[in-house]
Amino acid sequence: MSSIGTRGTAVGFIGLAVVGLALTGCKSGNEEKDPAPATSPSAAQPSKSTEPDTSATPSAGGGDAPAPGTAGTAKSGQSFKIGEAATVPFSYGTDKGGTIALTVTGIEQGQPSDLAALKLGDKAKGMVPYYIRYSVKNVGTTDLSHTSVSHIRGLLPDGSEAQNISIIGTFEKCDDDSLPRDFTNGKSQTSCAVALAPSAQTKVVGAEYWGEPYDSPDGKGLTWK
């Protein structure tokens, strides 16, 4: 998961080495956030675009997130091809929900030198970054302004998880922003998550979404390959 805090020089933290994510400014999951104060834009920001209509099924009225596997939503453990949309019940806060079409659009290999900006030191020695590009489209009836769609991680060829990074600040190669104001039905945004392969010989070949409700002990995440 890549988590954006204040703008400025990016600092990275590898995987679960971070203690108390809330204290570092990292996002702890799919949650509603207050609008961020206006800041100067970074030198390079990922473009935000409107995706073409997908076959995803909108949620029923009332603004509540449907259960996985109902009303056309993705089932726990379901697999998709890269570029294929999954209809996902999206929860944030304590009493609100919605439905999104989540699409992993690509997995790009970066260069080990990209990690220098994150100041990871020897913790990232020999690792290769991969950038998981994904899009989020609101296909429900709830305004999802200023919420965060995270819980995206990379998968290695043997099915194990790639090392993830939590990022505070702006990382040009793979920026991850919260959803903008007025993120209503039909609105889309692109985003990115960083995954680390352990060496140049091992590639990140897939991605997994393991956010609620796919994070239950007996549940499985959604995968793209």
Q: What is the pLDDT along the chain (225 residues), one digit of tens a residue?
A: 433 333 344 555 555 333 222 222 233 345 444 444 443 333 333 333 334 343 333 333 334 566 666 668 999 999 999 999 999 999 877 766 799 999 999 999 999 999 999 999 898 999 999 999 999 999 999 999 999 898 999 999 999 999 998 888 889 999 888 999 999 999 999 999 999 999 999 999 999 999 999 988 877 999 999
Q: What share of the chain is helix, strand, coil (3-state, %, to 5)?
A: 10, 30, 60
Tokens of 30: 């799919």
Output DSSP code: residue 88.
Answer: E
- The separation between the first and the last C-alpha atoms of the chain, rounded to the nearest angstrom, is 18
| CB-based contacts of 195, cutoff 8 Å, min separation 6 | 129, 130, 132, 153, 154, 162, 163, 164, 165, 204, 207
